[in-house]
Amino acid sequence: MARITRGKGEGALFRVPADTSKPLKFWQATVELPPRNGERRRKFVRSKDKRVALTKLRELQKDLAKVGDLPTASQTLESWLRHWFDQIHSKRVRPKTIATQRGIIDNHIVPAIGSTRLDKLEPLHVRRMHDAITDKGLSSTTALQAHRILGTALRDAEREGRVTRNVTTLVDAPRRAQTNLAVLDLDAGVRILQESARPGDRMGSRWATALLTGARQGEVLGLEIDRVSDHLDLSWQLQRLTWAHGCNKSDPRQPTCPWKRGADCPQRFLDAPVDWEHRHLTGGLWLSRPKSAAGWRVIPLVDPLREIIERRIAVATAEPNPHGLVWTAEQKRTPQGVLLPLDGSPIDPRVDNAAWHELLQRAGVNDARLHDARHTTVDLLYEAEVPEAVITEIVGHSTIGMSRRYRSRGNQRALRDALTKMSKLLTVGTEPDLPQPQTDA
């Protein structure tokens, strides 16, 4: 008698054991799945109740018809998240995003619901994750981030036929927490510029650039001398990125790397999308393209900022400067406290942040994040009655329409007039940058 091979989606229900004279153990339902590599694949479900087993069979057939395939083995959410993040998600997001989202997965999603079977996820598990995060005293914004990451992971799982639905779509996402940003007003901006213009402040021009252009921290620290002319070309930004372990990337059978940090791994690599433009400078510091087309912009350079930056460039070209940056790091000290000569290394963003808070303290203004200086720039532009469309162009805010990616870089004459108007609001005496001494302090 010829063997009958069932086709995709066809199912069967049978008793175990088949011998009715023996006690029933369970009813087993099976459905045929698409073969892989020429091998037959089936999905099984069991129940002691025949009607329940039959219902499960119908559900399997319905799910198979919807997504085209089903997993044959149970997989936990944690197992899927690890595979998804390393093999799928990390290839399409930037290194900074990779580090942030990996931390949320490790610290919040996996501890809360990681042991749950992927195909058994319910809306209550998503709400349990939300509660676990907020019960730690963290904001609802963190819960929202976790919700979005989980939603993306389940969306891809649904595409691959590992789940039949994305349960995050059945739960309301947490609301973003209200934050009160410390905004530096016009008066504070003037006082900061006056303080930074004092003789001997080597970074005074760096703070003037931030306040007069609204440029982000990475855009200022990554500005190269050859991108300064009648305009500031803010097409690259400096970032500190995290190295990933590469010791077992090519051969998983190799032993675990003895080094805890990826930066110390002999085969370290930067986990980043292949289409992401970046240039390595030194250590963990890189130059990268802005994350959006709106951030990649060219703005006119007008007085008084033109004169301030020209003075800084004159000093920068006379100092050691292997990377051709406008601003380089201060002199470093040995562990014994000996002051070393300038080496022209990039300014670490963490050191830059500390210097910013010290500046605010010296200027006698309220403490605020460095990024909040962009709000001050916008306030100054509005005070100068600059049109909103031009303000958006100057500070590089994105818009809803994707057409912005293809539009021109804006009316340079309008931008020049806007920056000139804003500069007239700030009557600040400037001093040239002073080279640092090359001897021990």
Domain boundaries, the chain: 13-67, 77-170, 186-227+300-424
What is the reported pLDDT for 54?
83
Residue of 131 and 254 predicted with greater confidence = 131
Lowest mean pLDDT: which of 106-110, 117-121, 168-172, 419-423? 419-423
Give pLDDT tens digits for 105-129.
Answer: 999 999 999 999 888 899 999 999 9
Query: How confident is the model over 373-396, as a mean pLDDT?
Result: 70
Lowest pLDDT segment from 44-53, 76-85, 421-430? 421-430
Please tell me the predicted confidence (pLDDT) of residue 148: 96
Among the ranges given (77-86, 166-175, 250-259, 278-287), the one the predictor scored with the smallest mean pLDDT = 250-259
In angstroms, the CA 392 to CA 431 distance is 30
Q: Of the given ranges (43-57, 127-141, 336-350), which has the lowest mean pLDDT?
A: 43-57
Hey, how many other C-beta atoms are within 10 angstroms of the C-beta on 433?
A: 24
Q: What is the pLDDT of residues 208-253, one digit of tens each?
A: 888 888 888 999 999 999 999 988 898 899 999 888 777 755 444 4
Superfamily classification of domain 186-227+300-424:
Intergrase catalytic core (1.10.443.10)
Is 77-170 assigned to CATH 1.10.150.130? yes
Q: Give the residue, 241 or 292, on which the prediction is more confident.
A: 241
| pLDDT class of 408 with cuts at 50, 70, 90 | very low
Give the confidence band of 399 by pLDDT, cuts at 50, 70, 90: very low
Q: Per-residue pLDDT averaged across 47-76, rounded?
A: 75
Residue type for 107, please?
Answer: N
pLDDT at 438 over 70: no
Q: Looking at residue 210, what is its pLDDT?
A: 86
The proportion of the chain whose per-residue pLDDT surpasses 90, expressed as a percent, equals: 30
Taking the whole predicted model, whether its pTM rises above 0.75 is answered as no
Q: Of 109-118, 147-156, 174-183, 366-375, which range is least confident? A: 174-183
Considering only residues 287 and 257, tell me which one the structure prediction assigns the higher pLDDT: 287
The predicted structure's pLDDT at residue 250 = 45
Q: Do domains 77-170 and 186-227+300-424 have the same CATH topology?
A: no
